[in-house]
């Protein structure tokens, strides 16, 4: 939301769309990445004790890709409906330029996006292992990638955009005065959301819900699927996607397979429901990030993000579990 939103929210607002619409689109779409292989949620669910004996990574790679494209299709439909309902116009003609002219004028801006690869490579795969071996596990875990990503964008951004920075102390004071109210609103709300997530996780929400989910074996399959989906989406409200999968992903999968849902379909449905985090106010951090960029009150995005994104996400997971939305 932070990376793409800083680029696309201005585009959306120049298409006769409100800041609320722009923030809703960015916040609602922020969870898609959790469904595509090879996200943290993908591997976390695969490692759940109830899943390990049924599925391997090779079994669900194609499943997750198909589920992610179903997920993406619901977002495209939401965009179409939103354009019609909110009278969003075409892209500004100034934003549609020949590729050669665009690259010549703005090639230096690509360094900001390329810089994102640095913290990702430093914390994942063989390159991440090499960094950990060099600086030690404790040092590598000290500052999370969530911090390094914006830092990696900020440094080259300051270099590329240095000519646009304030030139005097007074100009800096005015600039910071305009930014501070947004920072106060967004930062305070995000801190509260993350704190609530940690508290709920520490209270053992997953362990408390497990007995309830385990008793669904005797109810009709459609009803069991609906209950599991609703519970996972409720949990995803205050928790992150990975937190949700860790808390109830394994027991949710077991409950679905116990009522006859195919293992691959159960795996896909749980991933989809868990990825509703970004569209589950009031604990959805991406909404606050997007609202800060769009300069709108985050609360104004709650109702539309539920209508356009959260409800379709719930229904998509149900359709996958009952076999209507096909996954391999």
Give tens-digit pLDDT for 207-221.
666 677 667 667 788
pLDDT < 50 positions in the chain? none
Question: What is the pLDDT, as a whole number, of residue 311?
Answer: 94
Instruction: Evaluate whether 282 touches 238 at the Cβ level (below 8 Å).
Output: no
Cα 280 from chain centre: 11
Which of 154, 58, 56, 49 minimizes the C-alpha distance to 112?
154
Domain map (residue ranges) of the chain:
2-107+169-321
Nearest to 221 by CA among 259, 258, 257, 269: 259
Q: Are 89 and 16 in contact (CB under 8 A)?
A: yes
pTM for this structure? 0.72
Query: Alpha carbon of 194 to those of 188, 204, 303: distances in Å?
Result: 10, 16, 21
Q: Which residues contact 160 (CB under 8 A, 6 or more apart)?
A: 108, 109, 111, 112
């Amino acid at each position: 939301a932070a990376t793409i939103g800083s680029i696309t929210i201005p585009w959306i607002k120049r298409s006769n769309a409100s800041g609320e619409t722009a923030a809703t689109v960015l916040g609602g779409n922020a969870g898609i990445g959790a469904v595509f292989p090879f996200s943290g949620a993908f591997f976390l669910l695969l490692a759940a004790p109830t899943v390990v004996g049924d599925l391997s990574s090779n079994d669900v790679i194609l499943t997750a890709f198909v589920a992610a494209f179903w997920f993406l299709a619901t977002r495209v439909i939401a965009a179409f409906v939103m354009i019609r309902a909110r009278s969003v116009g075409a892209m500004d003609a100034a934003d549609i330029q020949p590729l050669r002219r665009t690259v010549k004028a703005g090639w230096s801006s690509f360094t900001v996006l390329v810089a994102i690869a640095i913290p990702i490579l430093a914390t994942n795969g063989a390159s991440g292992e090499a960094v950990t071996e060099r600086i030690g596990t404790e040092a590598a875990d000290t500052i999370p990638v969530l911090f390094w990503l914006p830092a990696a964008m900020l440094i080259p951004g300051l270099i590329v955009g240095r000519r646009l920075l304030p030139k005097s102390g007074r100009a800096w004071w005015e600039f910071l005065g305009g930014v501070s109210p947004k920072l106060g609103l967004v930062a305070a709300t995000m801190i509260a959301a993350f704190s609530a997530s940690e508290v709920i996780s520490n209270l053992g929400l997953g362990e408390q819900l497990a007995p309830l989910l385990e008793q669904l074996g005797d109810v009709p399959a459609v009803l069991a699927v609906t209950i599991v989906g609703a519970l996972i989406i409720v949990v995803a409200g205050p928790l992150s996607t990975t937190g949700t999968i860790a808390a109830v992903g394994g027991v949710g999968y077991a409950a679905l397979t116990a009522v006859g849902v195919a293992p691959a379909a159960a795996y896909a449905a749980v991933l989809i429901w868990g990825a509703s985090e970004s569209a589950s106010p009031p604990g959805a951090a991406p909404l606050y990030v997007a609202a800060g960029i769009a300069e709108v009150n985050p609360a104004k995005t709650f109702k539309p993000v539920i209508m356009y994104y959260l409800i379709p996400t719930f229904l998509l997971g149900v359709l996958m579990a009952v076999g209507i939305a096909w996954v391999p």
